[in-house]
Amino acid sequence: MTEVKRTYDASGRQERARARQRAVVLAARELFEQEGFRATTIAAVAKAAGVSAESVYKGFGTKAALAKAVFDQVLAGDDEPVPVAERPESLAIQAEPDVRRKIALYVPGLAHRQEQSAKVQILIRDGRHTDDTLEEVWQKLLDERLTGMEMMARHLVDTGQLRAGIDHPEVRDLLWTYIAVEQYELLVLQRRWSLDRYTAWLTQAITAALCDPSTNN
């Protein structure tokens, strides 16, 4: 008797798993923003996503880890396994020789990502005061932002076009501060600035902080 070997479509299974994960993240984002972190249960997320609560725990571990997954997805704009630093927008910034143009290319993308992720960031930031499981998540967000600005600062410093006397640690710390969600929260969410106005202000502010005004083109 000839043995019939079963074949499995690994790529198909992986895509179905990713689809379920996307559904969970989208459901969690909606519930977190509507109900808040504490009031949202894993059971409610699972029901909204059409999966079992067990599968949510298996895929994410904890509700705090799920909040981090929501942030990661809204920040990137999708769930593609491509780091932001390796996407076309970032590659264009790396290729641009003029430091002022680099900043002008960088800020609109940043502002768009803040528009997408601000509510989730604020939820994590403020939620940690009543749910300590979010403390580690918030610190990780801060650390990841600092790591990103470490790389960005090195890139800008290496152009040799920044103002005299400014060093890499100062560039990193200034960038880290300017791109904080608090800036977006105050000006866009509280003062109702348009995204275009906020983008223009942030571009000008970062440029003024880092560049020599005498070299303004």
pLDDT in tens, 20-65: 999 999 999 999 999 999 999 999 999 999 999 999 999 999 999 9
Helices 88-95 & 99-127 angle (0-180, nearest 10): 140
CA atoms of 75 and 72, how far apart (whole Å): 5
Find where tokens 């960038």 sit: 175
Count, residues in the chain: 217
pLDDT of residue 1: 46
Contact 33, 123 (CB under 8 A): yes
Question: What are the residue ranges spanned by the domains of the chain?
Answer: 1-61, 77-215
Sign of CA dihedral 108, 208, 180, 87: positive
Please calculate the CA angle 210-216-217 and round it to the nearest 5 degrees: 135
Find where tokens 């969970």 sit: 24
Find where tokens 């909606």 sit: 30
Find where tokens 């790529």 sit: 11
Decide if pLDDT at 7 tops 60: no
pLDDT of residue 150: 97
Q: Where are the alpha helices (DSSP H) in the chain?
A: 10-35, 42-49, 53-60, 63-76, 88-95, 99-127, 133-157, 168-178, 181-184, 195-210
CA atoms of 95 and 92, how far apart (whole Å): 5
pLDDT of residue 16: 84
Tokens of 176: 């880290």
Decide if pLDDT at 3 tops 60: no
pLDDT > 90 fraction of the chain, expressed in percent and rounded: 80
CATH for the 1-61 domain, from 1.10.357.10, 3.30.70.100, 1.10.10.60, 3.30.10.20: 1.10.10.60
CA atoms of 178 and 174, how far apart (whole Å): 6
CATH for the 77-215 domain, from 3.30.310, 1.10.3470, 1.20.1250, 1.10.357: 1.10.357
pLDDT of residue 10: 67
